[in-house]
Amino acid sequence: MKAVRFSAFGGPEVLEIVDLPDPRPAQGQVRIAVRAAGVNASDWKKRQGLMDEELPQTMGYEAAGVVDELGAGVVDVAVGDPVFGFCEQGAAQAELAVLSHYAPIPPSLGFAGAAALPAAIETATRALDQLGVVDGSTLLVNGASGAVGSAAVQLAVVRGARVIGTAGPANHSYLRGLGAEPVAYGDGLAERVRALAPDGVDLALDVAGSGVLPELIDIADGPANVVTIADFAGARRHGVVFSRGDTGRAVHALAGIGKLIETGRFTLPAVRTFPLSEVAEAHRLGEEGQVRGKIVLLVG
């Protein structure tokens, strides 16, 4: 099969399409013929050598496609079913991928839209679970208009929370459409939030990693009420929880998202697609911040 791989750390130019042996599903897993695979910031961090030291490495943790082989014990899907989910081996950007956690693709979604879901909804759900967001909570989301931020906003609203979200002025109407109350980021953030919530907020989620943890801690009345997914150094410095997947993923998010989409309670971010052969260009544009929404590679 064709797959994305790199044999040296560096910029997008180190990515290449190579022939690799077809993977086989283990017990409880399924193999899919990949139709679309998501690209995330963690992909270029991995390519730069900031995550794993071994070489060579394949790419991609989320994909959507058609089941073409079942592992032992799999009874909830059949060959030919369209599914989306996580490839724990980090080899989803390929013609074939093994999914360890998966769910049926909602009827209203195509493969590209489904491939844009797993990482964003898992990350958002994990952070909301760690914060303890429930009905009646007031949550501040810093960086609310991106793929993870918009997922966090919508999933928190579904839980019954009041959500205040930071974003640039151009994205304020978008956030209102998701059910959040928008505020501008930058100097004076605390004052703008308190204009909406005079007593502060119960909880705060930092998606943007823009150095505002001290302000979030103040607004949310202490570091115990703040979680960041983007500021590892700041989390250590200020005693805030840094949410990371290797401490346990919220894979239960996959099973419930289809109903939310079909009932209009969850809207996907904008998706920008590239053919698998243009993976280097997709990385370059994503890394430079030139793509709004989610980058997805189309396969086949």
| Residue-range domain boundaries for the chain | 2-117+268-298, 123-246
pLDDT at 300: 79
* pLDDT band at 236; cut points 50, 70, 90: very high
Q: Is the pLDDT of residue 291 over 90?
A: no
Three-state secondary structure of 49-109:
CCCCCCCCEECCCEEEEEEEEECCCCCCCCCCCEEEEECCCCCCCECEEEECEEEECCCCC
Which pLDDT does position 180 carry in this prediction? 98
pLDDT confidence of residue 295: 95
Mean pLDDT throughout 57-67? 97
Task: Quickly state the pLDDT bin for 246 (edges 50, 70, 90).
Answer: low
- Nearest CA to 29 out of 122, 121, 102, 117 is that of 102
292 pLDDT more than 80: no
Mean pLDDT of 181-210: 94
174-202 average pLDDT score: 95
Nearest to 74 by CA among 30, 118, 131: 30
How far apart, in whole angstroms, are the C-alpha atoms of residue 64 and residue 270? 17
Band of the pLDDT at 194, cuts 50, 70, 90?
Answer: very high
- Confidence band, pLDDT 50/70/90 cuts, at residue 41: confident
What letter represents residue 146's amino acid? G
Coil, helix or strand at residue 240: coil
pLDDT value of residue 115: 97
Report the mean per-residue pLDDT for the chain.
94
SS3 call for 134: coil
Contact present, 81 and 106 (Cβ < 8 Å): no
| For range 157-174, the mean pLDDT | 96
The length of the chain in residues reads: 300
Question: Could you tell me the pTM of the whole model?
Answer: 0.92
Taking a C-beta distance cutoff of 8 angstroms, is the pair 232, 167 a contact?
Answer: no
Reported confidence tier of residue 42, pLDDT bands at 50, 70, 90:
confident
- Per-residue exposure over 57-73, b if at least 16 CB sit within 10 Å of its own CB, e if not: bbbbbbbbbbbbbbbee
Look up residue 283 and give its two tokens: 């990385």
Interval 83-111 mean pLDDT? 96
Q: Which residue has the higher pLDDT, 96 or 44?
A: 96
Q: Could you tell me if 115 and 62 are in contact, meaning their C-beta atoms sit under 8 angstroms apart? A: yes
123-246 matches 2-117+268-298 in CATH topology: no
Structure tokens at 133: 């967001």
Percentage of residues in the chain having pLDDT higher than 70: 99
Q: Which has more pLDDT, 45 or 134?
A: 134
* 214: DSSP letter: H
The number of helices, as runs of H, and strands, as runs of E, in the chain is 10, 16
Q: Is the pLDDT of residue 151 over 80?
A: yes
Residue 125 predicted with pLDDT over 80: yes
Mean pLDDT, rounded, for 83-100: 96
Write down the architecture of domain 123-246 according to CATH: 3-Layer(aba) Sandwich (3.40)
Using only C-alpha atoms, the chain has a radius of gyration, in whole angstroms, of 19
Which CATH class, in words, describes the domain spanning 2-117+268-298?
A: alpha beta
Q: Is the pLDDT of residue 247 over 70?
A: no
Average of per-residue pLDDT across 35-60 = 91
How far apart CA 61 and CA 38 sit, in angstroms, is 7
pLDDT, average across residues 106-125:
95
Q: Which of 61-65, 132-136, 225-229, 269-273 has the lowest mean pLDDT?
A: 269-273
